[in-house]
Amino acid sequence: MQVALYFYFYLSILSSFFLNLGVFPVPAFGQTDGFRESFLAEPGSFLRLFELALAHRRAWNLSGALLALDEVLRIAPRCPAALLLRGEILLDLGRYEAAREAFQLGDEAALEAPDGTYGLIKLNRALLNWERVLALCKRILSNSPDNAFAVLNSAWAHFNLRNYEDAVRLYDHPVCGKSRVMRLGKGWSLLRSGKVDDARVVFQSLLKELPTDLEALRGKQEVESALLRQNLPGWRVTAALMPEEAASFLDLASRAASLGKISEALDLWGYVMQGRPDNASACLGLAGAYSSLGNWGQASYYYSVVLNRQPDSDALRGKIRALGALGQWADAASLSADLLKKAPADALALSTIAYFRYLLGDFAKACGFYERAGKDDSLMLLGRAWCKFMLKDFQASRNLFKEVLQKEPANVGAIEGLKLLEKSEEE
């Protein structure tokens, strides 16, 4: 017994010694924040960086989340989770083209998982490409017929394409059709297809379960309104706009815009989009109108809607301008590179890439792009002048600033540049 007590005594001393050295784990209670942080700090840890990205996203610090994910992808460029999370964040930011690339890379890196396809479905849903949504959902449903996400999005796509019978069939799915969301979709699809009594049954059953269900209440009110109008001709909303009807509204929108009635034009283009979501003319009209109003976020979105369906040089140029106005120069430069493949001498694309290279501090390359964009254009000359200034080629910079002033005597950028040259010479 005495030997055992001596053994326990020496073991406790030895344990305390190792604890002080930090060999054994230390219990969390009774520690300062700094002490705990010292144990948690794991510089360059893949898992910590990923957790940091998730924490930033939860706090809606999306830029911080992207920076953390960039570090993750630097360590593991083909990490599916990081690529897919990056796609989700880019989609949150409205950077649709970059989001598509991230989702596609994530899909290729994890062929056995559907996450990349889920991301592409969300992207195409946001950009109103319902046919593409259906195609992507079909890919999932061919392997997993009861996939609730694919069933719901297929039904929603059919609803927006006004294929109401197909929508009802999907919303009434035997496995996942019992949820509130699916039943609401079924009710609205029945109502839009003219089956008012059946729609009323659906909405009433939802309200019986939850009397405060505002969406079901709105559906019931719509049913009651439809019952009052059902004997009137043309009350159903079952068909998309006919091509000639859409053309008529587009003409009215163009006339309104030319007369400066932008709000009226926006309403008309929006109405065409509701009836024919694939109408590129309506999308371009909306994008151009929002650009003229300085609403660059909405303009960028509608240019993306067009580009998501088909390559269009006008939409691409509009998108580049909108991104530049929003300060998203990396995305603008990326799209400019795409534009240069079709139009190698396009001044907008060249000058956009030039400015992006300037922002990165790559002044020599920026100068080259400015020269390609237009040797005699005042703005391009000014860009070259500042590049030469940053490269400390002061004589060339002075000559270029003076050339700008010959064309535009009141050019503020050139005047400021010459003042800085004089100051640098004095110093």
Domains of the chain by start residue, with CATH: 40-127 (1.25.40.10), 239-327 (1.25.40.10), 328-427 (1.25.40.10)
**Long-range residue pairs from 359-367, CB within 8 A, at least 24 positions apart, any chain:** 359/329, 361/390, 363/387, 363/390, 363/391, 364/391, 367/391
Confidence of residue 427 (pLDDT cuts 50, 70, 90): low
> What is the model's pLDDT at position 117?
93
Location of structure tokens 């587009």: 250
Instruction: Give pTM, 2 decimals.
Output: 0.79
pLDDT above 70 covers what percent of the chain?
86
Confidence of residue 228 (pLDDT cuts 50, 70, 90): confident
How far is 330 from 350, CA to CA, in rounded Å? 13
Confidence of residue 22 (pLDDT cuts 50, 70, 90): very low
How far is 193 from 238, CA to CA, in rounded Å? 6
DSSP annotation of 23? -
> What is the model's pLDDT at position 42?
63
Q: Are 58 and 89 in contact (CB under 8 A)?
A: no
Q: Around Cβ 215, how many Cβ atoms within 10 Å? A: 14
Location of structure tokens 């929603």: 156
Q: Are 329 and 354 in contact (CB under 8 A)?
A: no
Q: Give me the amino acid identity at 285.
A: G
> What is the model's pLDDT at position 243?
78
Q: Are 336 and 349 in contact (CB under 8 A)?
A: yes
Location of structure tokens 């083209």: 97
